[in-house]
Structure 1
Amino acid sequence: MKKPIRLAALLLSLSLLTGCTASAGDLWSWKIADTPSSAAAAVTEAKTQKQAGACTPVAQRSDYKSLSNEKCRHLYDKLLDCAQNITDSKTENGYLVKTANLFTEKLSDNETRRTVMAFFNDNPQIFWLSNQYTYSFTLTGTSVQLYSRVRAEERTRLQKKLDTVVGQILSGVTSADSELEREDKLFDALADRCTYDSAASADTQQTDWQPYTAYGALVTGKAVCDGYSRAMQLLCSQAGLQCRLVNGNSKGAAHIWNLISIGGAWYHFDGTWMDGGIRTYDYFNVTDAVIKRDHTLSPQNGDVADCNFPLPAADSEQANYYQKCAVQIPALNAEVREQIVQALVHAAQQQKHSMALRLSDDLDFNKTVGQLFNGVPYFFQACVQEANGRLSSGKALSYTEMQYSAAASQNGVSVQLAYAQS
């Protein structure tokens, strides 16, 4: 479920202007979250880079680069500068944030709205801003008023909590890790900390703002798709990975997920739908063709009410999780059994919650899955028993508590691991 950002009102500057170019209550879709930027991000980056092997953070600026002209980019920069400056004045929309003014550059209505959208899409670290904003024009200039959900001192307190969690996660990610390894660790950390907030999703008034932010996903541990995707974007930024947001629909509702660049190629990544009752890898670095099986992408450069900025093609399978990270199963034989055992031991030693298998294209998928888990020769159960023989009792696996999820379209199987009570 996505949270729409609301244009609270279009303010008129100077009596020389004689009409509105947008109506009050005009809606357009985006999601709110957290990443690194300006002052707070600079401090975090400086601290991070002092650590040996730390990743070099990157700014997310994909939508900034897609803006139509330099005037829009100037306004974007102003918004970034003003976002930290929260005043003590409060209106029905929230606490006033220092107004972003371009005194000598007048943007069109559409340019202004797309610039604000790009600003929010690129900066998930700025989690405290309300989903409402106002803007106005003079004969020669443009002004945008943002609003904060909390006072300045509260924002600082929440920021420290978020920085602590992000720092803890990043302490386990190093520059020696490949980009795919970093992405895998970040997803595990996010999924370990967060669960889907069904109550927030069902709340049509959207009274609780935190589940729509990276703060909600990483600190309070509850989020909807907005929070999942923005938290992943924030973590990717700190781990040196380019990551952006994608607007669309899935499972009958407005939805948002990520595009992540690995090895120079872009992939769809939907952490929300992979972190259910069973943690799966069904949307971990998939192509346009795969994601479109059950996701609909909003138009590019369409109506600002629900659109995407231009998106790169996602047509590579090189970093697809099932292809690259899963145990490959060409047959149920002794060699594959040993590979699964080793994977189970490795996962248990790291206390991972899941692992993946990929069946060869020439196998009968349903029949082989049945042989793995549901009937003779109960292949996976034998693998677990052998793995336990190599593990200490404190890390023993519990086969009877495990679950699996099959993705026939990708010949993949995700296994939810469980551990015996010590």
Structure 2
Amino acid sequence: MDNLKFIKHNNRIKFTLTVVSVLLSAITLCSCNFSLDSILGNKPTEPVQTTTEFATESKPKREVKTSYSYDNLSSDKLKELYMKIDEYAENADTSEFVIDAPLNEMQLIEAIEAYKDDHPEVFWLKSDFEYIDNDDSTSLFLSYSVQPDNSDPDRLKKAKEKFNKMVDKIIDAAPKNATDYELELYVNDYLVENCVYDKETAETEGIAGHENDAYGALVEKKAVCEGYSRAFQLLCNRLGIDCISVSGTADGEPHGWNNVKLDGEWYEVDVTWNDTDGDTEFPVYDYFNLPSDKFSESHYTSPLYSELSLSEYENTDYYFNVFAPKCTGTKYYYYSYSCVTVYDINDSEEITNAIVQAAKDGEKYFDFVIDERLDFNTTADEIIYNGYLAEWIANANLANRYNPTLNEEARVYSSEAVNVITVFLEYY
């Protein structure tokens, strides 16, 4: 006898309902709890301004790979299913389609999640689905957060138009003649400044709308971690940067983030944890472009579907990945790439020059790193309380001919977690 089975992932809550039994197992991907003490640093906070000039028109055209999950599906039959999903999802078609192979729940989820991972722009496709086991074939019914109905046949069309208009606006406002790193930083900053983390949804584990997709993050400006990661991936891809979404846990809670590829190397990025939602006076970049060995101190990347047995899948309460590269890049970690490092507090030329430039640019904050070979607390106390920082700022004022003039008695914040001191630049 055929069994109709319902698979739902309402904010990553999974259950299987057949005509004879019910199985309940929680999969909560986006609780996203974290400590502010471990995530403090600096970024520009300029509002987005729309421009008609395309952000990357002066950059050489190049292909961006957006089919990482498709290419890594565990069988050709799942690739066939992926293409069927593509055909039906475009217009939010809920009608039945058949794959001529018996597929289990894990295989169906692998194909659907692979498609969602490769297509963050298809924001209306949900992870919920229904299927019928026909012994020698499988019938599948997709579900959607937005779909046409009798009361509004253009509902999906209007949602797409609103979404695409917002994406185009953000892309058009990106910096011109920028490097991939600068464009990636722009996307991180845009989301941090314009999207609010939806704590209520994360705590209740119930998705009511678009909190876990790119529409929620970009149009409604409210999302959980999956919404942040989908939006970050989409914008990076549109700006010519290879980027994927990744599932796992962070501080023991189910979570989602991104991997980004720069100069042939992969990096870990967690925009959700970079967003303190105004709980700090200054922006933070602690989770911007880390290698996996450093990132894994707080984050655990889930295994690949292809590495799992069905029993392992059924007994694990979180999402898995179709593709998740080892991130070995170190060059573009924010604090080492964008900030000056102090190796010797008596050698002040480099840091003074950096403060000079920050003042010329009118920056509100200035970050510098204390080299890990120095004792952070001892060195920070020397810099802050024994006059070194005041001297560096005084030298910067001299170099700028006091135009502008910085207050030498600056407020500071020190973060031992990332060996960073943040200086609040105040102007007369």
TM-score tier after normalising by the smaller chain length = 0.7 to 0.9
Match of 1:294 among 291, 298, 301: 298
Q: Is the 8 Å Cα contact of residues 388 and 397 (structure 1) preserved in structure 2?
A: no
1:335 aligned to 2:354? no
Q: Distance in 1 between matches of 2:354 and 2:426?
A: 17
1:404 aligned to 2:413? yes
With over 3 angstroms needed to count, the CA separation of the structure-2 counterparts of 1:262 and 1:137, relative to structure 1, is: same
Matches within 5 A, 1:82-231: 82-86=88-92, 97-99=93-95, 101-152=97-148, 153-173=154-174, 176-204=177-205, 206-231=206-231
- Local SS of the residue matching 1:202: helix
Q: Can you list the C-alpha shifts for 1:176-198, whole angstroms capped at 9, x where unaligned?
A: 42221221111111111123222
Q: Is the 8 Å Cα contact of residues 329 and 360 (structure 1) preserved in structure 2?
A: yes
RMSD over aligned Cα, in angstroms? 3.7
Q: Can you list the C-alpha shifts for 1:268-292, whole angstroms capped at 9, x where unaligned?
A: 1111111113422211111121111
State the one-letter code of the partner of 1:60: T
- 1:268 matched residue in structure 2: 268
Q: Is the 8 Å Cα contact of residues 134 and 146 (structure 1) preserved in structure 2?
A: yes
Q: Distance in 2 between matches of 1:57 and 1:343?
A: 35
Q: Is the 8 Å Cα contact of residues 55 and 174 (structure 2) preserved in structure 1?
A: no
State the one-letter code of the partner of 1:311: A
Q: Distance in 1 between matches of 2:108 and 2:15?
A: 11
Q: Can you list the C-alpha shifts for 1:195-236, whole angstroms capped at 9, x where unaligned?
A: 3222222223x1433222222222222222112111111111
- 2:246 matched residue in structure 1: 246
Alpha-carbon shift at residue 402 of structure 1 (Å): 6.3
Q: Is the 8 Å Cα contact of residues 371 and 379 (structure 1) preserved in structure 2?
A: no
With over 3 angstroms needed to count, the CA separation of the structure-2 counterparts of 1:166 and 1:235, relative to structure 1, is: same
Match of 1:63 among 60, 69, 86: 69
Q: Is the 8 Å Cα contact of residues 195 and 222 (structure 2) preserved in structure 1?
A: yes
- 1:311 matched residue in structure 2: 324
State the one-letter code of the partner of 1:368: T
Q: Distance in 2 between matches of 1:99 and 1:315?
A: 44
State the one-letter code of the partner of 1:122: D
Q: Distance in 1 between matches of 2:185 and 2:13?
A: 30
- Local SS of the residue matching 1:244: strand
Q: Distance in 1 between matches of 2:245 and 2:265?
A: 16
Q: Distance in 1 between matches of 2:142 and 2:213?
A: 17
Match of 1:365 among 367, 376, 392: 376
- Local SS of the residue matching 2:258: strand
Normalised TM-score (structure 2): 0.75
Q: Is the 8 Å Cα contact of residues 30 and 121 (structure 1) preserved in structure 2?
A: no
Alpha-carbon shift at residue 75 of structure 1 (Å): 0.8
Alpha-carbon shift at residue 108 of structure 1 (Å): 4.0
Q: Is the 8 Å Cα contact of residues 242 and 261 (structure 2) preserved in structure 1?
A: yes
- Local SS of the residue matching 1:211: coil
Q: Is the 8 Å Cα contact of residues 55 and 239 (structure 1) preserved in structure 2?
A: no
With over 3 angstroms needed to count, the CA separation of the structure-2 counterparts of 1:382 and 1:338, relative to structure 1, is: closer
- 1:43 matched residue in structure 2: none
Match of 1:285 among 285, 289, 300: 289
- 2:41 matched residue in structure 1: none
Unaligned runs of 5+ in 2: 1-9, 31-52, 149-153
- Local SS of the residue matching 1:161: helix
- 1:93 matched residue in structure 2: none
Alpha-carbon shift at residue 173 of structure 1 (Å): 3.4
Alpha-carbon shift at residue 138 of structure 1 (Å): 3.1
Farther-moved stretch of structure 1 (333-342 vs 141-150): 333-342
| Count of paired positions | 378
With over 3 angstroms needed to count, the CA separation of the structure-2 counterparts of 1:324 and 1:6, relative to structure 1, is: same
Q: Is the 8 Å Cα contact of residues 268 and 285 (structure 1) preserved in structure 2?
A: yes
- 2:333 matched residue in structure 1: 320
Q: Can you list the C-alpha shifts for 1:306-364, whole angstroms capped at 9, x where unaligned?
A: 3223422122312222221212222344413433324423653xx7x765422223333
Percent identity, aligned pairs only? 24
Unaligned runs of 5+ in 1: 11-18, 32-46, 87-96
Normalised TM-score (structure 1): 0.75
State the one-letter code of the partner of 1:366: N
Q: Distance in 2 between matches of 1:211 and 1:387?
A: 50
Alpha-carbon shift at residue 165 of structure 1 (Å): 2.6
Q: Distance in 2 between matches of 1:327 and 1:150?
A: 47
Q: Distance in 2 between matches of 1:335 and 1:77?
A: 58
